C-alpha cells in the first residue's frame, strides 16, 4: 500500500465523518468539498484523469457552491439540540454496522480482484466511448437535465395556488 | 283398450291455448279498465268450453286425439315430447273444468267488481284454467307434472291474492310448501317409472306394463306398488288427504270463487285424475297399496267431517267438507272403481261449487262476514242463494234423488265389488266409517244451512241478494246438482268403458229403495234441523257436557300444532344452527376474519408511516441490507 | 494487501457514514450532502472496478452518475427553497403532512 493511498484514505474518512458530524451545515459543506477533492485525487491516482477534472469542476465547483448558496440564502442554523429518536439511532447503528461488515470480505480479498491497470481515462478515451457505445444514454441524460431544469424553475416560482395549510 | 285409435288433431292444443291467451290479454288490457279483464277472461273460459265441446263431439269411444307439439328434450334413449291427448277420460275432466270454470268466471266478474286487483285476479284464474287443462290433457307424466306444478303455483298466487294480509300470504305459502312434499312423491314416481319402464308416456307405459304382465314378471307387483305409493303421496298433497290435508282449510284465505273453482271443483281432484290416468300402475300393484289408499281415505273423510261439525266459519265448514268428500273419491279410486271416483268428482264439483258460490254470495251480501253466528234468517233476504244452497245441501247429504246420493251409493257399492281382496275383506268396516261420515256430512251441512238461512238475522250489516251474474251460475249449478246423479249414473260408465277398466254401472235401486237407502242422510239432516231449530238449547248443553272433545274438534285435532312441534320447530332449529353457526359463524366469520386481520395488521403497519423522511430512509436501507444479506448467504 | 482492496474498503466505509448521516440528520440540506457522499463512495468503487476489470466502462458509468447528481442537485435545492417557503424551516420533521 503506497503512502499516497494511505494519506488519501485518512483524509477521506476524516472529511466524511466531518460532513455527518458537523453541527453547522456550512462546516458540513466545506468538509464535503474536502471529501470530493480527495475522491478526485483517488481518481487521478487510478489514471482517471477526465473524471478527476470533472469531479472538481462539477462537484466541488458547481454543486457544492450551489449548496452553499442555498445555505446562505436561507440562513440555515445548526439543528436545535434535541436528538433523533431512539429507533433512528439504533437503526442507523445497525445499518452502519452491516455496511461496515462488508469491509471484512473486501479486506480479505474474497473478490479475488487484481491490480490490472486500465487504459488511461483521458478525455479522448471517455469521449469516444460516450459518443459511440453510450450515445443513447448520453442523449437520454441530456433530456433528464432539461427536465431537471424545467422542474427547478417550476418549483422555484412563487406558488400561485393558495397555500392549503393556511386556509 | 286394444282397439285405441290415435288421431292427430289440434283440438287438445287449442283448448288450453284459449285461457293462456286470455290470461295475457286480461292482464295486459285489463290494467286500463278492470271491467275489461273480467269480460276477456270469462270469454276465454267460454271459448275453452266451446272448444272442448267441439273436441268431444266426434270423439269415438276408444279414440285419442293427439297433438304432438314438439320434442321437448331427449336423454339417451328416452325422449320427452310435448304431447297433449284428448280421450274420453280427459274430455270428462275438461268439460268439468271449462264448464264450471266459465260459470265461476262469470260469477267472479260480479264478486270481484270492487277489487283493485281484478286484472291480476282474472289473469291468475285463466292461468289456472290453462295449467289445469295441461294437467288433464298431458300425454305423459312430465307434461302432466307441468300442469300439476302450474295449478299449485296458481293456487298459491290466488290464496295469497290479498297479499297485504300477512296471514293470507302465510296460508299461500303453507299450501305451496305442503304441496311440494306431495310433488316430491310424484317426481319420485316419475323417476321410478323411467328407471323400470324407460318411458313416462301414458300409452307406452300401458303397453309396457301389459307386456310385463304377460311375461309374468315377478317384480312387477312390487315395483308398481312402490310407484303407486309415490304417486299416492303426490295425490295426498294435491288432493288434501291425510297427512297433508292441513293446507286446504287455510287456503280459504283466497277469494271465494277461487275456493269454489280450485279448492273444491277442480285442482284438488287432480289426485283422483292421476289415479284414473295411471290406473294401469295401480291395477298392477299389490293389494296392500289399495288397502293403504282406502284406509287413508276413510280416515281423512271421517276426521275432517268431525272437524267440520265444530267450525263456525262458513268457508271452513265447506273446506273440511271438501276434504271429507275427497276422501270419498279416494275410497273409490283405491278400490279400483275409477269411474266411480270420477263420478263423485263431477257431482261434487256441481254441488260443492254451488255451495261455495252460495257461501260467497252470502259473504258478499253480508259485507264480508264469514262467521255463521253473525248470520241467520237470510232465506227471505237472499231467496235464490237460499234455494240453491238448500238443494246443494241435500245433494251433499246424499238424499235421493239428488246427485250426491248416486255417487256416494256407487262408492259404497264399489268397495264390496273391488278386485282387491284385502279391500273386500275389510269392506264392512270401511263402509261403516263411510256411512257414519255421510251422516255427519248431512248433519254439519244442515247446521250451516240452518245457522245461515233460518232463524233471525244476528249480524249488523244489511244483507241483500246478489246480482244476476252471481245468481245465474248458482242456478245452473243447482240444477246440475239435482239431475247430475240420475243423468250420469248410467251414461258415465258407458261413456268411459273403453278407457277405464271395470267401467260398468252398478245395478241401480228402485226409487223407493233409494229413498230407503238415504236414511242416514235424512237422519243427519233431521238431527241438524232439530238441534239448530226447535231444540236450539241442546247444542250448548252438549258443548258443556263434552268440553274436551269440543276443544279437540275446534282445534282441528291440533294437527297443525303437532306438525309445528314435530316438523317445523326442529327444522327451524336446524336452520338456526346452519344460519347462526355455519353461515354467520363459519362463512361470514371467514370473510369478516379476513377483513379483521387486514384491519389489525393495517393498524400495526400504519404506525410505521410517521411522515418523517428519515424513517423511510431507515426502512429503505433496512430493506437493501436485508436483500444484500440474503444474496450473500444464499 | 492490494491497493484496490484498500480503495474498495474506504468506499464502503464512506458509504456507511453517508447512510448514517441520511438517517440521523434532520437538516435536509445536510441529508442531501450525505447522499452526495454515498454517491461518491459508489463512484469511487466504480472507478476501482474499472481499473480492475481493465476497461473504461465503469468510468463512463461514473460520468452518468455525475450527470444524474447534477440534475438531482438542481431539483433538490429548488425543493428545499420551496419547503423553506412554506415551513420556514429545512428540517425534515417539519414536513410530515403525509403521516397517518
Taking the C-alpha atoms of residue B375 and residue B460, their distance in angstroms, rounded to an integer, is 9
3 state SS of B254:
coil
Q: Mean pLDDT throughout A55-73?
A: 89
Tell me the percentage of chain B whose pLDDT exceeds 70: 98
Residue B559 falls inside a structural domain = no
End-of-domain residue from the set B225, B253, B285: B285
Taking the Cβ of residue B615 and every Cβ of chain A, the question of whether any pair is shorter than 8 Å is answered with: yes
Largest CA distance in chain B: 118
Domain interval for residue B275: 1-285
Of B524, B554, B584, the one marking the end of a domain is B554
How many domains in chain B?
Answer: 3
Which ranges constitute the DSSP H helices of B398-537? Answer: 403-416, 421-453, 468-496, 511-517, 519-532
Say yes or no to pLDDT of B498 above 90: no
Query: Locate cell 454496522: which residue?
Result: A97
In this complex, the chains that touch A, judged by 3 or more CB pairs closer than 8 A, are: B, C
Residue found by looking up cell 251480501 in the block:
B365
Indicate the residue of A87, A88, A95 with minimum beta-carbon distance to B625.
A95
Backbone phi and psi for residue B193, each to the nearest 5 degrees, phi listed first: -60, -45
Digit-coded pLDDT (tens) for C50-98: 888 888 889 999 999 999 999 999 999 898 888 888 888 888 887 777 7
Lowest mean pLDDT, pick from A127-131, B536-540, B586-590: B536-540
For residue C50, give the nearest of A63, A111, A118 by CB distance: A118
Is B421 within the bounds of a domain?
Answer: yes
Specify whether B394 is located in the same domain as B304.
Answer: yes
Q: Is residue B561 part of a domain?
A: no
| A164 pLDDT above the threshold of 60 | no
Same domain, B405 and B522: yes
- Chain B residues near residue C97 by CB distance under 8 angstroms: 611
Q: Please report whether residue B327 resides in a domain.
A: yes
Confidence grade of residue A50 (pLDDT, cut at 50, 70, 90): very high
Helix (H, G, I), strand (E, B) or coil at B78: strand
Summary mean pLDDT of chain B: 86
For residues B259 and B339, membership in a common domain is answered with: no
Q: What length is written for chain B?
A: 634
User: What pLDDT score does A1 carry?
Assistant: 59
Same domain, residue pair B194 and B139: yes
Across the interface, whether the CB atoms of A84 and C43 are under 8 A apart is answered: no
Contact B308, B444 (CB under 8 A): yes
Q: State whether B612 and C96 contact (CB < 8 Å).
A: yes
Q: Give B249-275 pLDDT, tens digit per residue.
A: 888 888 888 888 888 888 888 999 999
Give residue B1's pLDDT band: very low, low, confident or very high (50, 70, 90).
Answer: very low
B567 has pLDDT over 90: no
Whether residue B614 is predicted with pLDDT greater than 70 in this model: the reply is: yes
Q: How far is CA B284 from CA B227, B540, B614, in A?
A: 10, 51, 93
Q: What is the pLDDT of residues B388-424, one digit of tens each?
A: 999 999 888 888 778 888 888 888 888 888 888 888 8
Distance in angstroms (rounded) separating the CA atoms of residues B197 and B217 = 12
Q: How far is B175 from chain C (nearest CA, A)?
A: 60
pLDDT of res. A7: 92
**CA dist., res. B470 & res. B422, Å (int):** 47
Q: Say whether pLDDT at A38 is over 90.
A: yes
* Residues of A whose CB is below 8 A from C16: 95-96, 99-100
Instruction: Find the range with the poorest average confidence among A6-10, B296-300, B366-370, B594-598.
Output: B366-370
Span of A14-18, B310-314, C59-63 with lowest mean pLDDT = B310-314
Per-residue confidence (pLDDT) for residue A161, from 0 to 100? 55
Residue B138 has pLDDT above 80, yes or no: yes
pLDDT score recorded for residue B568: 81
Question: Which residue do the cell numbers 324407460 mark?
Answer: B198
Q: Does B3 touch chain C (CB under 8 A)?
A: no
Do B590 and B525 lie in one domain? The reply is: no
- If interface means Cβ-Cβ distance under 8 Å, which residues of chain A face chain B? 84, 87-88, 91-92, 94-95, 98-99, 102
- Identify the pLDDT of residue A167: 42
**What pLDDT, on the 0 to 100 scale, is given for residue A82?**
66
CATH topology of domain C3-90: Helix Hairpins (1.10.287)
The confidence band for C33, taking pLDDT boundaries of 50, 70 and 90, is: very high
Same domain, B115 and B68: yes
Asked whether B21 and B133 are in contact (CB, 8 A), the reply is no
Q: For B456-476, how does the pLDDT look when each residue is reduced to its tens digit (9 = 90+)? A: 878 777 778 888 888 888 899
**pLDDT at B427 > cutoff 90:** no
d(CA B608, CA B100): 82
Which three three-digit cell numbers place residue A54? 470533472
Per-residue model confidence (pLDDT) at position B95: 92
Domain match, B502 and B619 both: no
B240 or B535, higher pLDDT: B240
Give pLDDT, residue A79: 66
Instruction: Chain C: give the shortest CA distance to residue A41, in Å.
Output: 11
Q: Are residues B158 and B260 in the same domain?
A: yes
Q: Enumerate long-range contacts of B548-553, CB under 8 Å, 24 or more apart.
A: B550/B310, B553/B306, B553/B307, B553/B309, B553/B310
Mean pLDDT for the stretch of residues B200-212: 87
Determine the average pLDDT of the residues in B98-112: 91
- Which residue shows C-alpha cell 485518512? A10
pLDDT of residue A115: 65
Residues A31-38 have a mean pLDDT of 94
Residue B41 lies in a domain: yes
Q: Indicate if B480 and B507 belong to the same structural domain.
A: yes
Chain A residue closest in CA terms to B629 = A98
Domain boundaries, chain C: 3-90
Asked if B618's CB is within 8 angstroms of A91's CB, the reply is yes
| Residues B294 and B281 reside in one and the same domain | no
Which pLDDT does position B252 carry in this prediction? 86
β pairing state of B78-86 and B63-75: antiparallel
Q: Are residues B576 and B434 in the same domain?
A: no
Nearest in space to B524 (alpha carbons), one of B447, B464, B579: B447
Q: What is the pLDDT of residue C65?
A: 93
| Position A116 confidence tier, pLDDT thresholds 50, 70, 90 | low
pTM above 0.80, yes or no: no
Average pLDDT, integer, range B35-48: 89
Choose the weakest-confidence range: A41-45, A105-109, C11-15, C59-63. A105-109
Q: Is C1 on the interface with A (CB under 8 A)?
A: yes
Q: Could you tell me if residue B560 is inside a domain?
A: no
Looking at the complex, report in whole angstroms how far the Cα of residue B621 sits from the nearest Cα belonging to chain A.
Answer: 7
Among B501, B524, B554, where does a domain finish? Answer: B554
* pLDDT score recorded for residue A56: 92
Q: What is the structure's pLDDT at B112?
A: 85
Q: Which chain C residues are Cβ-neighbours of A102 within 8 angstroms?
A: 12
* Mutation to test the B interface, candidates A91, A106, A111, most B Cβ within 10 Å: A91
Amino acid at each position: 500500500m503506497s503512502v499516497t493511498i494511505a494519506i488519501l484514505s485518512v483524509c477521506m474518512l476524516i472529511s466524511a465523518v466531518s460532513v455527518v458530524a458537523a453541527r453547522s451545515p456550512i462546516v458540513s459543506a466545506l468538509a464535503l468539498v474536502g471529501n470530493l477533492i480527495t475522491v478526485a485525487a483517488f481518481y487521478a491516482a487510478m489514471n482517471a484523469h477526465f473524471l478527476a477534472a470533472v469531479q472538481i469542476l462539477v462537484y466541488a465547483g458547481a454543486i457544492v457552491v450551489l449548496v452553499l448558496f442555498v445555505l446562505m440564502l436561507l440562513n440555515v442554523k445548526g439543528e436545535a439540540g434535541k436528538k433523533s429518536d431512539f429507533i433512528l439511532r439504533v437503526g442507523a447503528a445497525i445499518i452502519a454496522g452491516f455496511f461496515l461488515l462488508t469491509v471484512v470480505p473486501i479486506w480479505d480479498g474474497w473478490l479475488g480482484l487484481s491490480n490490472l491497470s486500465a487504459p488511461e481515462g483521458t478525455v479522448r478515451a471517455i469521449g469516444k466511448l460516450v459518443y459511440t457505445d453510450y450515445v443513447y444514454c448520453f442523449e437520454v441524460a441530456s433530456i433528464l437535465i432539461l427536465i431537471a431544469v424545467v422542474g427547478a424553475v417550476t418549483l422555484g416560482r412563487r406558488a400561485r395556488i393558495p397555500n392549503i395549510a393556511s386556509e | 283398450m286394444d282397439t285405441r285409435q290415435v288421431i292427430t288433431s289440434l283440438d287438445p292444443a287449442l283448448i288450453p291455448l284459449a285461457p293462456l291467451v286470455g290470461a295475457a290479454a286480461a292482464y295486459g288490457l285489463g290494467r286500463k279498465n278492470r271491467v275489461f279483464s273480467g269480460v276477456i277472461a270469462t270469454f276465454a273460459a267460454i271459448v275453452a268450453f266451446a272448444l272442448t265441446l267441439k273436441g268431444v263431439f266426434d270423439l269415438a269411444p276408444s279414440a285419442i286425439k293427439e297433438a304432438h307439439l314438439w320434442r321437448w328434450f331427449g336423454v339417451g334413449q328416452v325422449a320427452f315430447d310435448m304431447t297433449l291427448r284428448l280421450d274420453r277420460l280427459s274430455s270428462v275432466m275438461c268439460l268439468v273444468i271449462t264448464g264450471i270454470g266459465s260459470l265461476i268466471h262469470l260469477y267472479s266478474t260480479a264478486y270481484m267488481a270492487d277489487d283493485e286487483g281484478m286484472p291480476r285476479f282474472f289473469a291468475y284464474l285463466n292461468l289456472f284454467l290453462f295449467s289445469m287443462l295441461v294437467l288433464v290433457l298431458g300425454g305423459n307424466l312430465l307434461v302432466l307434472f307441468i300442469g300439476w306444478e302450474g295449478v299449485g303455483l296458481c293456487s298459491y298466487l290466488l290464496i295469497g291474492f290479498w297479499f297485504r294480509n300477512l296471514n293470507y300470504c302465510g296460508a299461500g305459502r303453507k299450501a305451496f310448501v305442503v304441496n311440494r312434499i306431495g310433488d316430491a312423491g310424484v317426481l319420485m314416481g316419475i323417476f321410478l317409472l323411467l328407471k323400470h319402464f324407460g318411458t313416462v308416456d301414458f300409452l307406452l307405459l300401458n303397453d309396457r306394463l301389459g307386456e310385463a304382465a304377460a311375461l309374468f314378471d315377478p317384480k312387477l307387483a312390487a315395483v308398481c306398488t312402490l310407484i303407486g305409493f309415490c304417486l299416492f303421496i303426490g295425490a295426498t298433497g294435491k288432493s288434501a288427504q291425510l297427512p297433508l290435508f292441513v293446507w286446504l282449510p287455510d287456503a280459504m284465505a283466497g277469494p271465494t270463487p277461487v275456493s269454489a273453482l280450485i279448492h273444491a271443483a277442480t285442482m284438488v281432484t287432480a289426485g283422483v285424475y292421476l289415479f284414473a290416468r295411471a290406473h294401469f300402475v295401480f291395477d298392477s300393484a299389490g293389494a296392500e297399496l289399495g288397502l293403504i289408499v282406502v284406509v287413508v281415505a276413510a280416515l281423512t273423510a271421517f276426521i275432517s267431517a268431525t272437524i267440520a261439525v265444530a267450525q263456525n266459519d262458513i268457508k271452513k265448514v265447506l273446506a273440511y267438507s271438501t276434504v271429507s268428500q275427497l276422501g270419498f273419491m279416494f275410497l273409490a279410486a283405491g278400490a279400483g272403481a275409477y269411474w266411480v271416483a270420477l263420478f263423485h268428482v263431477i257431482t261434487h264439483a256441481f254441488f260443492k261449487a254451488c255451495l261455495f258460490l252460495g257461501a260467497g254470495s252470502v259473504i258478499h251480501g253480508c259485507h264480508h262476514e264469514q262467521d255463521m253466528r253473525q248470520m241467520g234468517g237470510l232465506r227471505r233476504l237472499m231467496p235464490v242463494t237460499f234455494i240453491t244452497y238448500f238443494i246443494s245441501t241435500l245433494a251433499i247429504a246424499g238424499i235421493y234423488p239428488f246427485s250426491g246420493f248416486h255417487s256416494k251409493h256407487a262408492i259404497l257399492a264399489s268397495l264390496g265389488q273391488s278386485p282387491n281382496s284385502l279391500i273386500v275383506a275389510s269392506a264392512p268396516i270401511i263402509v261403516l266409517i263411510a256411512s257414519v261420515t255421510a251422516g255427519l256430512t248431512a248433519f254439519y251441512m244442515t247446521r250451516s244451512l240452518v245457522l245461515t238461512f233460518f232463524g233471525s238475522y244476528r249480524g249488523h250489516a244489511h244483507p241483500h241478494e246478489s246480482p244476476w251474474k252471481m245468481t245465474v251460475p248458482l242456478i245452473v249449478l243447482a240444477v246440475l246438482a239435482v239431475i247430475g246423479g240420475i243423468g250420469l249414473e248410467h251414461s258415465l260408465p258407458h261413456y268411459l268403458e273403453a278407457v277405464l277398466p271395470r267401467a260398468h254401472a252398478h245395478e241401480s235401486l228402485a226409487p223407493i229403495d233409494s229413498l230407503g237407502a238415504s236414511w242416514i242422510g235424512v237422519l243427519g239432516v233431521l238431527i241438524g234441523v232439530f238441534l239448530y231449530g226447535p231444540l236450539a238449547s241442546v247444542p250448548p248443553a252438549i258443548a258443556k257436557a263434552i268440553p274436551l272433545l269440543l276443544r279437540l274438534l275446534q282445534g282441528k285435532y291440533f294437527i297443525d300444532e303437532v306438525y309445528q312441534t314435530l316438523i317445523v320447530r326442529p327444522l327451524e332449529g336446524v336452520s338456526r344452527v346452519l344460519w347462526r353457526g355455519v353461515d354467520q359463524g363459519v362463512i361470514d366469520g371467514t370473510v369478516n376474519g379476513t377483513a379483521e386481520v387486514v384491519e389489525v395488521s393495517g393498524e400495526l403497519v400504519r404506525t410505521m408511516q410517521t411522515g418523517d423522511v428519515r424513517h423511510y430512509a431507515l426502512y429503505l436501507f433496512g430493506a437493501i441490507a436485508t436483500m444484500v444479506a440474503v444474496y450473500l448467504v444464499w | 494487501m492490494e491497493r484496490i482492496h484498500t480503495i474498495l474498503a474506504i468506499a464502503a466505509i464512506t458509504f456507511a457514514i453517508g447512510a448514517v448521516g441520511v438517517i440521523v440528520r434532520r437538516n435536509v440540506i445536510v441529508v442531501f450532502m450525505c447522499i452526495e457522499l454515498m454517491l461518491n463512495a459508489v463512484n469511487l468503487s466504480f472507478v476501482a472496478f474499472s481499473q480492475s476489470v481493465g476497461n473504461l466502462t465503469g468510468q463512463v458509468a461514473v460520468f452518468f452518475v455525475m450527470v444524474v447528481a447534477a440534475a438531482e442537485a438542481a431539483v433538490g435545492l429548488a425543493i428545499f427553497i420551496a419547503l423553506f417557503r412554506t415551513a420556514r424551516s429545512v428540517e425534515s420533521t417539519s414536513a410530515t403532512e403525509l403521516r397517518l
